[in-house]
Amino acid sequence: AQSVTQPDIHITVSEGASLELRCNYSYGATPYLFWYVQSPGQGLQLLLKYFSGDTLVQGIKGFEAEFKRSQSSFNLRKPSVHWSDAAEYFCAVGPYNQGGKLIFGQGTELSVKP
Amino acid sequence: GAGVSQSPSNKVTEKGKDVELRCDPISGHTALYWYRQRLGQGLEFLIYFQGNSAPDKSGLPSDRFSAERTGESVSTLTIQRTQQEDSAVYLCASSLGAGGTDTQYFGPGTRLTVL
């Protein structure tokens, strides 16, 4: 069955420190992969997406993610976290042959210490 | 409008009542999705509409849930005889098409509380 796992429910980092949020997926073929961010009281905003090609993708707000087929992973990174990055982050898979519906992980809540 | 809008933003209802949630997609977007987000969990797909095709209802949890869409505009999600487990945030998203590469744009959600 298709699934997305985000092993870390909650992460706390200091402002200015680097960040890596983990995402593992289970899918029979190459998936379309997404990272969304959800700030309190707001809808989800797309950070970045991977469809094909270069496995390192750049997104908005200084985020990047790397697709590693051998590890079935799509981890999100940021070299220096800002206090405004505190939010909930969701990894999602978009199966090619089932329309555009997305399968989401349970999310990782990021807290940023001053 | 500039983005996906949903109404109401909050809805409190009593167990057993029916509720109707509304979604206005981005103009020109042919695909529309409904997701449910329970407290502390990720989003669960409920249903999606693509143009005039039959909707994909594979995610609806029970026959108490239904949704309609008028053409390529407004959609309503109806929950009949609400139960406490229906309490969640209901998110709507729209995209230009329903291909896997079409970015989904999400609305702010409707927070439903069933007492």
Q: Is A14 on the interface with B (CB under 8 A)?
A: no
C-alpha dist (Å) from residue B114 to A41, A42, B47, B90: 19, 21, 21, 13
Residue of B nearest to A40 (CA): B108
pLDDT for A40 equals 81
Neighbours of B73 (CB within 10 A): 12
Q: Is B100 on the interface with A (CB under 8 A)?
A: yes
User: Which tens digits make up the pLDDT trace of A39-58?
Assistant: 887 789 999 999 888 899 99
Q: B10 to chain A: which residues are within 8 Å by CB? A: none
- Closest C-alpha to A18, from A64, A74, A87, A72: A64
User: Which tens digits make up the pLDDT trace of B2-34?
Assistant: 799 999 999 999 999 999 999 999 999 999 999
Euclidean distance between CA atoms B37 and A14, whole angstroms: 28
Assess contact for B55 and B49: CB atoms under 8 A. yes
Higher pLDDT, B104 or B72: B104
Please name every residue paired with B49 in a beta bridge, in sequence order, or none if there are none: B32
Give the best residue of B4, B9, B105, B106 to mutate against chain A (max A CB count within 10 A): B106
Residue with tokens 């029916």: B18
Please give, rounded to a whole number of angstroms, the shortest distance from the CA of B8 to a CA of chain A: 14
Assess contact for B59 and B45: CB atoms under 8 A. yes
Euclidean distance between CA atoms A114 and A13, whole angstroms: 9
Euclidean distance between CA atoms A83 and A81, whole angstroms: 7
- Closest C-alpha to A102, from A86, A111, A91: A91
CB contact under 8 A, B42 and A105: yes
Tokens, residue A98: 């089932």
B8 upstream amide cis, omega within 30 of 0: yes
Which one-letter amino acid corresponds to residue B35? Y
Tokens, residue B61: 């949890």
User: Which tens digits make up the pLDDT trace of A94-109?
Assistant: 865 556 788 899 999 9
